[in-house]
């Protein structure tokens, strides 16, 4: 055990040093001798990150993240009650201003050129187009749904006609780029043509509880497969005209019960290029005791049995027929926290009073902030066998992934023959893209 501990500590230190000095990867650095197509490195870019987190698309370029990613998933696109892709501009919901109306100033622009009010493609969409021009190997996917916008997926997937109409609307809006015209003139036919290279389905969850207002039906399970088949059919038909392959991916749950309730196992992978698997939110301040939110393996002494872990999630999908080469492990760029922790020790598996105070949401904090807490009285603790870390100051507890944990996960990805890593979300990393660089180093693409 001591030898294992010393080896991991030394390699983690080495990885930290490597990510600090590694040169930007070439556009095709994803090619890897052991995997002809390379490891997928999929990062979610959040529409709202440009505000409080001050994370414009440009930071993907200046931090070095973009040159180490294969895919950027834009979060999120909405689904209407009548089952269509649409741009939601409702207060507290969508933000068409951020998507493609906002004139991005020169200091936030990928190419240093400011937008002009009323151009067809401003905002994040315009900047993603510029990012792709600077990184020709990078693909951008529109991610549909998410926790808050999975409300009406069931309606969209319910019948053959609804599936056809839904898929056609998504292709029209995002791949053909026919955006609604907004005040001032942004949008219009073909305005976003070429920005998106495919579609990611983030339905949380078919035939399983998600957000409180979600429509859920028992037939969601088979309808999800049928929806994927319709997406694949229409994407291929459109791709033949455009002489391009459009990717189809999906975000899948870690909970084995949700896997069985909502998915037809092996069948769904007939249509997917790959799937990203939830590797986080296993525990949080909704629990009465502190715990891990993203451990690689279930820790010894865990109070829940059975419990969740990244390994449990991956093994669950493999047992249900998923090919290893199409599974991408999700890695969090944030932590979950509790305060009012009692019981002493290192704080793990101890009673807590509630969620820890945080910058944007109680009980949820970005890695870039958590990494600074060691200078504020917190101590880092590790479970090397379980593959997780936490911070504790005697009262407040944070479970999170630091570079050492991320490095362990990349070894796991390589050893078990998985397809790569996914990150939620890129705006949680620091300005040097330390976690993204660690993933690149760990997967052999510095």
Annotated catalytic residues are: 204
3-state secondary structure of 55: coil
Question: What angle (nearest 5°) sits at the alpha carbon of residue 147, between those of residues 352 and 82?
Answer: 150
CA-wise closest residue to 75 among 427, 438, 436: 427
Closest CA to 254 of 327, 328, 309, 305: 309
Q: Which residues contact 406 (CB under 8 A, 6 or more apart)?
A: 331, 435, 438, 439, 442
Q: Are 87 and 96 in contact (CB under 8 A)?
A: yes
Alpha-carbon span 204 to 252, nearest angstrom: 8
How many CB atoms within 10 Å of residue 263?
Answer: 29
Helix (H) or strand (E) holding 78: strand 71-79
How does strand 379-383 pair with strand 139-145? unpaired
Q: Which residues of 316-374 form beta strands (DSSP E)?
A: 327-332, 334-339, 354-355, 364-366
Q: Where are the alpha helices (DSSP H) in 352-402?
A: 367-370
What DSSP string describes 204-267? Answer: S-TTS--STT----TTHHHHHHHHHHHHHHHHHHHHHHHTSPPEEEEEE-S-HHHHHHH--GGG
């Amino acid at each position: 055990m001591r030898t294992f501990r010393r080896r991991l500590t030394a390699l983690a230190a080495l990885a930290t040093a490597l990510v600090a000095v590694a040169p930007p990867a070439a556009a095709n650095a994803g090619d890897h001798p052991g995997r002809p197509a390379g490891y997928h490195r999929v990062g979610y870019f959040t529409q709202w990150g440009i505000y409080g987190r001050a994370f414009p698309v440009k930071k993907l370029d200046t931090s070095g993240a973009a040159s180490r990613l294969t895919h950027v998933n834009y979060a999120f696109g909405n689904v209407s009650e009548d089952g269509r892709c649409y741009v939601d501009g409702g207060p507290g919901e969508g933000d068409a201003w951020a998507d493609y109306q906002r004139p991005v100033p020169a200091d936030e622009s990928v190419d240093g050129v400011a937008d002009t009010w009323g151009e067809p493609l401003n905002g994040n969409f315009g900047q993603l187009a510029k990012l792709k021009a600077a990184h020709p190997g990078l693909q951008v996917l529109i991610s549909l749904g998410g926790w808050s916008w999975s409300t009406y997926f069931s309606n969209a997937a319910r019948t053959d006609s609804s599936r056809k109409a839904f898929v056609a609307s998504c292709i029209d809006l995002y791949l053909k780029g026919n955006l609604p015209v907004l005040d001032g003139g942004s949008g219009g036919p073909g305005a976003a043509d070429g920005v998106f290279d495919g579609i990611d389905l983030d339905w949380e969850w078919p035939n399983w509880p998600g957000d409180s207002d979600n429509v859920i039906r028992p037939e969601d399970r088979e309808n999800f497969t049928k929806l994927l088949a319709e997406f694949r059919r229409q994407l291929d038909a459109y791709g033949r005209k455009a002489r391009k392959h459009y990717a189809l991916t999906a975000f899948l749950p870690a909970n084995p019960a949700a896997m069985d309730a909502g998915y037809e196992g092996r069948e769904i992978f007939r249509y997917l290029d790959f799937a990203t698997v939830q590797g986080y939110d296993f525990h949080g301040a909704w629990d009465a005791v502190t715990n891990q939110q993203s451990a690689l393996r279930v820790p010894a002494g865990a109070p829940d049995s059975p419990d969740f872990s990244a390994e449990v999630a991956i093994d669950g999908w493999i047992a249900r027929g998923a090919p290893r080469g199409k599974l991408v492990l999700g890695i969090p760029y944030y932590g979950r926290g509790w305060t009012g922790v009692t019981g002493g020790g290192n704080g793990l598996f101890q009673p807590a009073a509630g969620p820890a105070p945080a910058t944007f949401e109680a009980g949820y904090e970005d890695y870039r902030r958590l990494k600074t807490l060691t200078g504020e009285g917190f101590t880092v603790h590790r479970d090397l066998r379980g593959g997780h870390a936490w911070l504790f100051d005697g009262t407040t507890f944070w479970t999170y992934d630091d570079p050492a944990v991320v490095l362990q996960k990349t070894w796991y990805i390589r050893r078990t023959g998985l397809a790569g890593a996914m990150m939620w979300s890129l705006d949680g990393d620091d300005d040097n893209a330390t976690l993204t660089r660690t993933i690149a180093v760990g997967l052999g693409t510095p």
